[in-house]
Each structure stands twice: as structure tokens, then as C-alpha cells.
Amino acid sequence: MDHFLYRDGALFAEDVPVAEIAATVGTPFYCYSTATLERHFRLFDEALEPMPHLVCFAMKSNSNQAILKTLAALGAGMDVVSGGEYARATAAGVPGDRIVFSGVGKTVEEMRVALEGGIRQFNVESESEMEALNGVAVSMGLRAPIALRINPDVDARTHAKIATGKSENKFGIPIARAREVYARAAALPGLDVIGIDLHIGSQLTELEPFELAYRKVADLTEALRADGHEIRRLDLGGGLGIPYTRSNDAPPLPSEYGEMIQRTVGHLGCEVEIEPGRLISGNAGIMVSAVIYVKHGEGRDFLILDGAMNDLIRPSMYDAHHDIVPVHEPAAGAEQAPYDIVGPVCETGDTFARQRNMPALRAGDLVAFRSAGAYGAVMASEYNTRPLIPEVLVRGDQFAVIRPRPSFDEMIARDNIPEWLL
């Protein structure tokens, strides 16, 4: 569910007409709904109510300060994968004991910053990282709380570029070596081994891969406890998918996901962490763009938009689908025709959809890309010297620009000219 609905022929974001936002900030832009963000977080929080838990928002899906503050006010933790994301989380007022540090390539400096500022745990991905973290913690006279990320060799049945839980993926420690590596971790004086971590991938649309992985973790927990380890926390990752098209079968509900967690690991008495990102922020955002030209080509017609692959790269990078709808609702039964929907960037890959049926549109008409709140703005670039597009947050009948569009002068001023060129 989201809060982007037609009223009297116009698309609204909560109680604000999308066309009104476009007239104020220009196109293209991202628009987020506070009500959708809050609702989706609460669905996960309520799904885990029977057990001690923390829902940590996966910041890599959307790291705008206003989004983080909105979720932090509800008690969300944050899952960060870089020193920059850690800085963003703390700047948004999230305390260190609600921040989990994931990622395969943490640097010594990132470890030091997180230990100084406070951290709930590091999700350690490799033995070399484990040794490095131990050295940093010892040098600071601290013990770093850790969970070792285990690779359970489970096929997530998702896009190859976002699958993370098979043996050939770069993530985690093979489950076959887990007991050996836990024994080594327990012997290191700078580490406090508190739990197990795993994450098998993103945009999963069925529960079976999760259940297979979580049952393996349950067995491992009992084996590690038998070895003398105090396993008191299970970080089960994120990855529950969203429907990117209204015609898709709906992925499992957070309530069904929570019931499965209770069924597979609830008997262990562990505190549970989950790290949803896409399901909280994905359907909470749209990208709005304007038609520049309608081009009639040989054998096909094109809608050329002012939004491009640098603004929303998912279709180019993953062949991802986004529903694209007119901001002004077409009349019932309006005739439609197939278009290639493209941007102005000088790449054939700057294509959002091929032969997508759309009602008749003209230059200046607005369209909205649904389900664009996750992995949209955070993956954007300034390719072709195109400014990063504004982000707007709506709450009820109010909206605010939460990231402005930079001017060309501001973009150019970031470049430094060496003395010998002056």
C-alpha cells in the first residue's frame, strides 16, 4: 500500500497534488510519503512483537536525513555499510546502540570511528576483517561487539546482481567453517562475540529461501552454544521484496515473515534484528518527470523525458520494471499505444521501458515512476553534468524540499583548478 492515489483526475501524494509540487520545484524530482514510510516500518515492528527485536532500516536504500529522522522517531535502528552512512545515521540522531555496521570492506578508520561513536555490533564478513577489528579495539582498550556473517549457501531466487547468500558470492563466511571461525573469534581479546548474522539477498518474493537459511542458522546456534559460545542475538538481514507492478503477485506480508521467523528461530530465546530497506522506502517514493518530446520513429514511437538513467538507474542496471503513470489520470477506456520511454542521456541504455502501453501524452505532460523510493536517489549521479534532482517529503497537506537541486555553478565550483592551469 502507498499514499499516491488519484483524486478527481489528479495524482496526489497524501493530500498534496503532485502537479503542485512539480510547479514549485521543477522536474524531475523524487517525492516521498511520510505516511507510507511510517506504516511500513510499523508493519515490521508489529510482526516481531512476540520476541525481543530491533528493526534496523537498511540505509543503502534511501539515506536522506529527513527519511532517517522520520524512522528514528519511531524507534528504528539503522543498518549501515560505510563510514558515510554511519555519519548520516548519527547526524539524524540515531544512537550508536541502534546502529549495526555491515559490509564486506570496512576500513580500519571506519572501525575506529564507530567504536568511538558507539555501535550496536559489527557484522564481520571475513577472518581478515575480524583480525583487523580486534587490532583496532585492543589499541583503543575496548571490546568490539560482533556477529559473524554466515553464508548459508541458499539460493535467494532473485536477480543475480542482488543475490548474496550463495557460496560463490563475496559475502560472509562459509557455514561449513563457522564453528572453526567462531572459536578463533572467541580467542581474540578485542572482540565480544554476541551473535550470528546473515543476509541472502534483496527483492525476495517468497519465504522459502528465508526459511531454509533461518533453519540452518537455528541449527548453527545450537551447535555454537554447545561449543560454549553465548549466542544471544540473531541478525537475519533483510530483502523482503515489493510489487513493482500492480499486476504482480504480491510478495509475502511482513506479518507472514514475522510468523516464519518465530517458527524457525523463536525457540532459541535470542534477540532478533532484521534489516528491511526496500519494503519500507520503495513504495513510499515516486520519481516525477516531464515529457520533453514525443518522437515518431521507424516502427516505434518514443516518449523522451527530462528524467534519465543518472536519476533512476535501476531499469538500466537491472532491467528493473517501474510502473509509469500519467500525473493527470486518463479517462476511463482511453486509447493506449506502445512507446519506448527514454531519457536524454547519450546512451542507448538510457531506457526506462520498451513498448510500454501509455495513453496519448504531449510535451509538458507529467508522468510518475512508482516504487522509486528505494535505490533511486541514493544511486543517482551527475553523469552528463545533470544535477542531482530534488527530493521532496510530504506529510499530510504539507511538503518540503529535503534535498535541493544544485545549480550548474555549484556543481562546477566543486572542481579545483591546479596553479599551472591558472
Q: Is 270 a catalytic residue?
A: no
CA distances from 36 to 3, 41, 134, 377 (A): 6, 9, 41, 17
Among the listed residues 31, 56, 270, 346, the single catalytic one is 346
Rounded CA gap, 242 and 249, in Å?
10
Alpha carbon 188 to its chain's center = 33
Grid cell, residue 297, equals: 520513429
Rounded CA gap, 296 and 303, in Å?
9
CA distances from 40 to 78, 132, 254, 257, 258 (A): 15, 37, 9, 13, 14
250: left (phi over 0), alpha (psi -120 to 50) or beta: beta
Q: Which of 322, 326, 323 is nearest to 11 (CA)?
A: 326
Strand partners for 270: none
Rounded CA gap, 391 and 410, in Å?
17
> Using an 8 Å Cβ cutoff, are 167 and 153 in contact?
yes
CB proximity list for 347: less than 8 A, separation 6 or greater:
309, 316
> Using an 8 Å Cβ cutoff, are 277 and 61 in contact?
yes
Three-state SS annotation for 238-303: CCECCCCCCCCCCCCCHHHHHHHHHHHHHHHCCEEEECCCHHHHHHHEEEEEEEEEEEECCCCEEE
Strand partners for 294: 303
Catalytic amino acids? 346
